[in-house]
């Protein structure tokens, strides 16, 4: 089965039993680069994101995850730019640099002993046992049934305990009044926010912005589906999770770290 | 021991109005500072995405911890049946409520969305220690309120011991909860220690007693009531024991952390290479806030009121420094995404975060102390909290 993704506007026109057909996590397996207008190939038997729609509740049968291949020569800043554009970030006018929101950042790591260095993108790791969800007093910090960790902006009281609890420094606090937010990311002063795996795009059958911009270096897919490309790649090549010692079981996996 | 008489402080005096105005003004400045920060957003503060909790939290947690400790005197009287402390039990209970109120005002006003208080009061996540603390704090006020009622309403005096026991147990759980806010955090190496909960309990004994002694001596001095050496000296000796106990816990906390390789770097940061945090630890917390007060309290001039007052003030400053080091120093130290590696990023990974308290943060914190003292001032004039005299003749049960 082949699906042609032309552009954002015709996504909903792709039909199969009135569902959209997008394949996630298949890029590396197929050896192709994700970009508008590129043909993607679905692995036989794998569930695709198109099997889920906005009208359905997130299902616990699914666990969305990512696999970041840090060995690929990719400009990770493109992922940062795509994220900033998708969520309307970097629009603070008063905040100092250390007060500005970053959903995804490029971290440079160097082994002092050997001199080996590398870079990798770090965002919310969408932990199975998320400390931010545990500590949130109001339940604003929550994990969806499909494993995506989010902040309910209507419920967040801005206590910032989740930021204290997150071992990945993945969360930011909105330090000022913001205007011109994007429609899908209604950011507001006094609330905590972080990468939501582009839940708005996922629910619309699109890939997260950083995945799309990663030139195939970030694979997105269902970790619960053994047939999905991400699961197959993980089974074949293995992976590491950042601070795996904390046993939080992040949904974001890395190769090459 | 002569019969005790409690009487309200005369409200229609220049001195009373002056104190009322002073504490009211400090509270008002604190609330206006909060409004300024809330109106603009937290960019006007020194806080950032690494140092998430700033100076207001230092004051708020100090006041909440001290609240539990201020109840000590009442607990000793009711739970451990030491009649010497009975005349002070009402003030002890009232001060603990006032301190908790001051701390909670600061905590609430530093929220990103204080307007959503109703959400915090109606939507609960019982896995969160913060949620439990909401119940522990409000419950504490209720339990201590009932305890005060049994003390002040004669027909219910026979229930005082039971209510006192309930309040005693509640305050121990409350401070455990406050310490656990930090103890439960695996993400930051400075906090990840079960020892923090009992350490917070002993800190509460010390800070609460220092605050209690100052309020006691101040209120008796400015109302020209007699306060004998017998009661003051007992309290100051007890205070000294608490200060030494805090120091003991601080030593154990740091030595055990030095022993464990995961926590060694952050401990060395606090103890040796942390700049302002190292200074605050050694100079303000240990020297000025612990050792000097012990010398003052147990030295040859230890019975002099101005020495005791000075020691109590130093203990409070040392306590604030201790919480500053724990709360802000613990956050400033970079998180270890890749332990043992050198990391850097545009999000300030791998570097010690910079934080300097802004004036509004400091004023909000001081406003919490203002709220506490304002409530105490109003309470002593409105109800019978203070005995008309605490001369040795009245306070000493062995007086002949």
The domains of chain B are located at 14-395
CB A169 within 8 A of CB B48: no
| B57 chain-A contacts, CB cut-off 8 A | none
pLDDT of residue B185: 83
- ipTM comes to 0.92
Residue A4 is predicted with a pLDDT of 36
Of A152, A155, A187, whose CA–CA distance to A172 is shortest? A187
Instruction: Choose among A92, A155, A157: nearest Cβ to B111.
Output: A157
In a structure prediction context, what are the per-residue pLDDT tens digits for chain B, which is 400 residues long? 567 789 899 888 999 999 999 999 999 999 999 999 999 999 999 999 999 999 999 999 999 999 999 999 999 999 888 888 999 999 999 999 999 999 999 999 999 999 999 999 999 999 999 999 999 999 999 999 999 999 999 899 999 999 999 999 999 999 988 888 887 788 888 887 788 889 999 999 999 999 999 999 999 999 999 999 999 999 999 999 999 999 999 999 999 999 888 889 999 999 999 999 999 999 999 999 999 999 999 999 989 999 999 999 999 999 999 999 999 999 999 999 998 899 999 999 999 999 999 999 999 999 999 999 999 999 999 999 999 988 888 888 777 6
Q: Find out whether B188 and A246 touch, Cβ atoms under 8 Å.
A: no
Provide the pLDDT for residue B101. Answer: 97
Three-state secondary structure call for residue A105: strand
Q: B337 vs A190: CB contact, 8 Å cut-off?
A: no
How is domain B14-395 classified at the architecture level of CATH? Up-down Bundle (1.20)
Give the residue on A whose Cα is nearest the Cα of B36. Answer: A176
Interface test with B, best of A109, A153, A191, A250 (most B CBs within 10 A): A109
* Contact check, Cβ <8 Å, B187/A165: yes
Please report, in tens digits, the pLDDT of each residue of chain A (257 residues total).
333 333 333 333 333 333 333 444 443 333 333 333 333 333 445 566 666 556 677 888 999 999 999 999 999 999 999 999 999 999 999 999 999 999 999 999 999 999 999 999 999 999 999 999 999 999 999 999 999 999 999 999 999 999 999 999 999 999 999 998 999 999 999 999 999 999 999 999 999 999 999 999 999 999 999 999 999 999 999 999 999 999 999 999 999 98
Write down the pLDDT at residue A52.
Answer: 59
For chain A, the domains span 2-255
| 8 Å CB contact of B341 and A110 | yes
Q: Which of A41, A38, A47 is nearest to A6 (CA)?
A: A38
pLDDT tens-digit readout, B346-384: 999 999 999 999 999 999 999 999 999 999 999 999 999
- CB < 8 Å to B123, chain A: 138-140, 155
Are the Cβ atoms of B128 and A135 closer than 8 angstroms? yes
pLDDT at site A139? 96
Interchain pair A167, B127: CB under 8 A? no
On chain B, the residues whose CB falls within 8 A of the CB of A176 are 40-43
Establish, for the pair of chains A and B, how many residue pairs have beta carbons separated by less than 8 Å: 181
CA neighbor of A146 nearest in space, from A251, A43, A257: A251
- The alpha-carbon gap from A104 to the nearest alpha carbon of chain B, in Å, equals 9
Tokens of B157: 């005096």
Question: CA of A208 to nearest chain B CA: how many angstroms apart?
Answer: 21
Task: Quote the pLDDT of residue A57.
Answer: 77
Q: What sign results for the dihedral spanned by CA atoms A217, A218, A221, A225?
A: positive
Chain A: nearest CA to B269, how far in angstroms?
Answer: 19
Q: From the list A96, A106, A163, which residue is nearest B345 (CB)?
A: A106
**CATH architecture under which domain A2-255 falls:** 2-Layer Sandwich (3.30)
What is the per-residue burial (b if ≥16 Cβ within 10 Å, else e) of B270-305? Answer: bbeebeebbebbbebbbebbbbbbbebbeeeebeee
Residue in B43, B134, B345 closest to A176 by CB: B43
B35, B121, B347, best to mutate vs chain A, most A CBs in 10 Å? B347
Residue B84: per-residue pLDDT: 87
Beta bridge partners of residue A40, listed in sequence order: A3
- The answer to whether the beta carbons of residues A108 and B343 sit under 8 Å apart is yes
Shortest CA gap A187–chain B (Å): 13
Q: Which helix (H) or strand (E) holds A75?
A: none
Write the residue in B52, B123, B343 that is nearest to A173 by C-beta.
B52
* Angle, alpha carbons A203-A204-A207 (nearest 5°): 85
In angstroms, the Cα distances linking A14 to A33, A45, A52, A204, B19 are 20, 19, 14, 12, 75
Q: Which residues of A touch B38 (CB under 8 A)?
A: 190
CA distance B227 to B390: 5
Does the beta-carbon distance from B111 to A107 stay under 8 Å?
A: no
Contacts A151 to B, Cβ<8 Å: none
Q: Please say whether the beta carbons of A158 and B113 come within 8 A.
A: yes
Q: Kindly give the interhelix angle for B196-222 and B229-259, rounded to the nearest 10 degrees.
A: 160
Residues B10 and A22: their CA atoms lie apart, in Å, by 79
Set of chain B residues whose Cβ sits within 8 Å of the Cβ of A190: 38, 41-42, 111-113
């Amino acid at each position: 089965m082949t699906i042609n993704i032309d552009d954002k506007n015709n996504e909903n026109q792709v039909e199969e039993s009135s569902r959209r057909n997008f394949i996630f996590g298949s890029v590396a397996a197929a050896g192709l680069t994700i970009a508008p207008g590129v043909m993607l190939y679905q692995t036989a038997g794998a569930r695709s994101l198109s099997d889920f729609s906005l009208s359905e509740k997130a299902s616990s049968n699914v666990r969305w995850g990512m696999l970041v291949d840090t060995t690929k020569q990719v400009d990770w800043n493109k992922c940062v730019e795509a994220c900033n554009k998708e969520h309307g970030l970097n629009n603070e006018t008063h905040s100092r640099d250390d007060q500005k929101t970053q959903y995804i950042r490029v971290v440079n790591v160097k082994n002092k002993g050997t001199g080996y260095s590398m870079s990798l993108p770090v965002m919310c790791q969408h932990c199975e046992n998320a400390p931010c969800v545990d500590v949130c007093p109001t339940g604003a910090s929550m994990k969806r049934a499909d494993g995506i960790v989010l902040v309910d902006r209507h419920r967040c009281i801005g206590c910032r305990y989740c930021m204290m609890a997150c071992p990945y420094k993945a969360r930011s606090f909105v330090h000022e009044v913001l205007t011109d937010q994007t429609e899908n990311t209604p950011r507001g002063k006094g609330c905590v926010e972080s990468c939501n795996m582009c839940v708005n795009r996922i629910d619309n059958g699109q890939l997260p912005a950083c995945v799309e911009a990663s030139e195939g270096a970030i694979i997105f897919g269902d970790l619960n589906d053994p047939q999905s490309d991400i699961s197959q790649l993980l089974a074949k090549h293995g992976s590491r999770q950042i601070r795996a010692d904390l046993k939080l079981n992040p949904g974001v996996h890395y190769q090459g770290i | 021991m002569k019969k005790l008489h409690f009487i309200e402080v005369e409200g229609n005096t220049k001195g009373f109005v002056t104190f009322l105005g002073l504490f009211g003004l400090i509270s008002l400045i604190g609330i206006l500072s909060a409004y300024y920060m809330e109106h603009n957003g937290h960019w006007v503060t020194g806080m950032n995405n690494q140092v998430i909790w700033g100076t207001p939290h230092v004051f708020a947690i100090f006041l909440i911890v001290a609240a539990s400790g201020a109840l000590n005197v009442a607990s000793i009287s009711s739970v451990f049946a030491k009649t010497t402390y009975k005349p002070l039990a009402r003030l002890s209970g009232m001060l603990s409520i006032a301190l908790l109120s001051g701390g909670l005002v600061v905590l609430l006003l530093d929220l990103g969305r204080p307007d959503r208080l109703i959400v915090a009061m109606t939507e609960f996540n019982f896995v969160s220690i913060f949620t439990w603390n909401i119940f522990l704090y409000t419950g504490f006020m209720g339990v201590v309120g009932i305890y005060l009622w049994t003390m002040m309403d004669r027909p219910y005096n026979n229930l005082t011991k039971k209510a006192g026991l309930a309040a005693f147990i509640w305050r121990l759980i409350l401070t455990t909860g406050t310490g656990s806010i930090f103890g439960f955090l695996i993400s930051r190496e400075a906090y990840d220690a079960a020892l923090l909960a009992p350490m917070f309990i002993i800190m509460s004994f010390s800070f609460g007693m220092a605050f209690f002694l100052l309020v006691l001596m101040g209120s008796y001095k400015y109302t020209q009531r007699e306060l004998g050496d017998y009661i003051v000296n007992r309290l100051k000796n007890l205070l000294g024991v608490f200060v030494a106990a805090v120091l003991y816990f601080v030593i154990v906390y740091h030595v055990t952390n030095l022993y464990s390789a995961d926590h060694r770097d952050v401990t060395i940061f606090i103890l040796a290479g942390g700049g302002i945090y190292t200074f605050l630890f050694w100079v303000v917390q240990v020297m000025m806030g612990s050792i000097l007060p012990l010398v003052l309290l147990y030295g040859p001039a230890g019975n002099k009121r101005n020495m005791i007052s000075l020691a109590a003030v130093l203990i409070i400053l040392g306590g604030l420094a201790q919480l500053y080091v724990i709360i802000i120093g613990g956050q400033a130290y970079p998180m270890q995404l890749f332990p043992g590696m050198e990391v850097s990023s545009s999000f300030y990974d791998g570097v010690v975060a910079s934080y300097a308290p802004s004036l509004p943060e400091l004023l909000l914190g001081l406003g919490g102390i203002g709220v506490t003292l304002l409530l105490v001032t109003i309470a002593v004039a409105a109800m019978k909290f203070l005995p008309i005299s605490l001369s040795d003749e009245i306070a000493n049960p062995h007086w002949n």
